[in-house]
Amino acid sequence: MSHEENILTRIMGERKKDVAVSKRQVSVNELLWEAEKRTNYYSLVERLRVGAGPRIIAEVKKASPSAGELRPVYDPTAIAQAYVSAGAVGISVLTEPHHFLGSLDDLRRVRKVVNVPVLRKDFIGETYQLLEAAAWGADVVLLIVAALEPGQCAELYREALELNLEVIVEVHTREELGVALSCEHAIIGVNSRDLKTLRTDLDVAYELSKAIPDDRLCIAESGIRTPEDIAGLQAAGYDGFLVGESLLREHFPGKALKVLLGKM
């Protein structure tokens, strides 16, 4: 396996070490206490089922492994508020610290200023990370099939539901899609970026859309840059779209979202 193909494995290893440190700083009981006192959950499932669309989950992140630093001056709350004003149905917050330069503090800050569903976008491999998400304001978590051992995805999915979290199960291949579909109430996320190589190809989204049952909520992720991309994927059956990089490259991400939504 090449260095390039090891990116996902390396990130998961780093996050495992990060969790070990976090457990020494904040106990499971503290996280459970914070999660249990929450009353304000917002449903992404409901947002993806209402309105004519397009329904875009807009992402806040400072950097990415494929693009490098996107926002030298980074204010996740201001960007999130601009997205909501522009018509985003949800906000995705990158909390991975090493390659995306994110943090749980970004999640907490965004949660305080928006009244739409918030997704914790990270490389989740342990129950502790689900507890963090529930405690610090997420409504939705992402589980990446390619990053998890067999059976681990189903276990984390069940645990997330017990914490009142909705789940996006992310796939890149037909084999991974089979795992995702077994998570009965999960949103299917088809990522056109191969997380092992970082290459993006929208044909992945078009091909996998043919194998997703009509009654399953599904979103397309990565490589979405134009209203034409949105229109094509919507016609292929996608209920929503997770978009970040193309918006964050623009000086005014909220304005860029309006353009993508066909409002400008």
Active site residues: 59, 61, 121, 170, 191, 221-222
Report DSSP letters for 14-43, one per residue: HHHHHHHHHHHHS-HHHHHHHHHT------
Q: Is 231 helix (H, G, I), strand (E, B) or coil?
A: helix
Asked if 187 and 48 count as a contact pair (C-beta separation under 8 A), the reply is yes
Q: What Cα–Cα distance (Å) separates residue 16 from each residue in 12, 22, 128?
A: 6, 10, 10
The H or E element that residue 59 is part of is strand 56-60
Q: What are phi and psi of 54, to 5 degrees?
A: -70, 145
The H or E element that residue 187 is part of is strand 187-191
Q: Phi/psi class of residue 164: alpha, beta or left (left: φ > 0; alpha: ψ in -120 to 50)? A: left
Distance, in Å, from the CA atom of 19 to the CA atom of 78, rounded to the nearest integer, reads 28
Q: Mutual orientation of helices 227-235 and 253-260 as an angle, nearest 10°?
A: 50
Distance, in Å, from the CA atom of 112 to the CA atom of 191, rounded to the nearest integer, reads 28
